Chain A
Amino acid sequence: MAESRVKEILDEWRAVANAAPRPVEAPRPPRQVGSFGIATGAVAVVVVLVALLIRGGQQSGLPGSSALGSQSPAASLVADVASPIPQESASPRPTLVASPIPTESASPIPTGVASSAPLPNPGGTCSASQFVVGQATSQYETSVIVASHVGVRQPVQNTGADCVLELPKVIGFADQSGPFQAVVVPNMGQVTCKDTAAGRECKYVYPTSFQVKSGQTVTIEFNASWFNGNNPGFAPPPCAGTVSDVTRSEFPLASGSIEIVWDTALLEVCTSPSSVSVTVDN
């Protein structure tokens, strides 16, 4: 009965999806960009403005024949595709460890000692010494054609009093034994969803401050991506200040830092532009 329900839905999906008529001609910006639903309004405005400019005598060629086609090709595409954008499904949450395993990494690392540059104090009230660090998990998550993506998740348990964890804007990254390099890390954001009468509605939120109650386990998460060179048709995007084979991170708190160690090496972490984003799942 239940299995037949699955089959019924999938059969229906097949029938409907295959009934979708496809435009015969492949889309090309100069001729068809105005019909795309996502930006119909905005593009229409642009088209009108371009047309007005042309009428004003700034150009004498065909309308819309230059703007989109003249962008630099490979680099911008790689950047778009490779940007580590989190999303709900491709970032499976690890099961938090019931009893975080105390390791030597639980002890705070004095900020500025292990780093090549001191990490800014993110503020808040949490101290590294009040957290017990569990087993970090790491795995490849998305995209294998142009860029590789790895997500790292580090559960930590607050064994002290309630505190406020401020998301750091700069954290340290290092290979297995080298010094930490400071890297600016954008806020990854989180998906929040709710069920409504019309369906499930989701949106991204970008909290920067997290209340961590006594005894609570929260998970520090970051996603990293790097150009993998799998497709020779695309050039690597800009990447300065590279840290290679990264398997360790220094995550600063109001007092001290947590060291995060994981298995799946980030082959390349760029400091400019940053190729890692971070959040906390509480």
Chain B
Amino acid sequence: MSEPVETAYQRTYDRFSGDVFRFALAWTNDWASAEDLTQEAYLRLWRHRASIDWERPMLGWLLVTTRRLANNRFRSLRRSLAPTHSNPPSDESIRARWLDVRHGLRTLTPLERTALIVTAVEGWSYAEAAHALGTTEGALRAAVSRARDKLEVA
């Protein structure tokens, strides 16, 4: 009985961990936090594996959990949304590029940054993004617009 759950869990990880990581990266603008949050979100999934309907789509749940974990973590640990002790990727070329990108996005709020990235980079529809971010399409469009405005004048 546990074998199918293990398989379903691993399959969910294989399929969505990249999406969850990029979502967390967009939200936090911090590499180490995004790594941690991705793992934490999956640990929640694992911890509650017995009560989960594995036939249902998991990505939405994972994204919301990731965002809530980010907030809980930020609140409880008083960590910066853009901490100075981030651990960027070990590859030097990626590391340098990431620091540039992170710096370029630093003025955006998490909602603005995530709204812009998931729609412009990840290719989500506004409806999908609004659903994942728990807001309305109108508010999401406004966030995207504000994000673009901020980046353009930065």
Contact = CB atoms under 8 A, between A and B. Distances in A.
Contacts of B36: 36-38
Interface in B40-98: 40, 42-44, 46-53, 56, 60-61, 64-65, 67-75, 77-78, 80-84, 87, 89, 91, 94, 97-98
A14 B56 contact: no
**A12, A189, A232: which has the most chain B beta carbons within 10 Å?**
A12
Given A87-B71, A144-B131, A200 B106 contact: yes
A149 B64 contact: no
A245 B73 CA distance: 31
A22 B34 CA distance: 12
Nearest to B87: A37
A98 interface: no
Given A12-B101, A27-B43, A142-B67, A85 B72 contact: yes
Contacts of B75: 85, 87, 189, 204
A20 B21 contact: yes
A74 B51 contact: yes
A80 B110 contact: no
Interface string B130-146: 01011110010001000
A74 B48 contact: yes
Contact of B44 (A28, A80, A86, A89): A80
B105 A231 contact: no
A14 B121 contact: yes
Nearest to B74: A87
A104 interface: no
B104 A144 contact: no
A233 B68 contact: no
A92 B91 contact: no
Size range of the chain B interface in the assembly: 35 or more
B73 to A, nearest CB: 6
Given A89-B109, A146-B64, A235-B51, A16 B117 contact: no
B133 A142 contact: yes
Contact of B94 (A10, A19, A88): A19
A145 B132 CA distance: 8
B1 interface: no
B82 A9 contact: no
Contact of B35 (A37, A74, A235): A37
Given A85-B75, A196-B84, A204-B74, 10 more contacts: A13-B101, A17-B22, A26-B10, A69-B47, A141-B134, A189-B75, A200-B81, A202-B74, A231-B61, A233-B56
30 contacts: A5-B151, A6-B151, A13-B117, A13-B121, A14-B121, A20-B31, A22-B18, A25-B13, A26-B13, A27-B46, A28-B46, A36-B40, A37-B35, A37-B87, A38-B33, A73-B47, A82-B68, A87-B70, A92-B139, A141-B135, A143-B64, A144-B64, A145-B64, A189-B75, A201-B82, A201-B83, A202-B74, A202-B82, A203-B80, A204-B74
Interface of A: 2-3, 5-6, 9-10, 12-22, 25-29, 32-33, 36-38, 68-69, 71, 73-74, 76-77, 80-83, 85-90, 92, 139-146, 149, 189, 193, 196, 198-204, 231-235
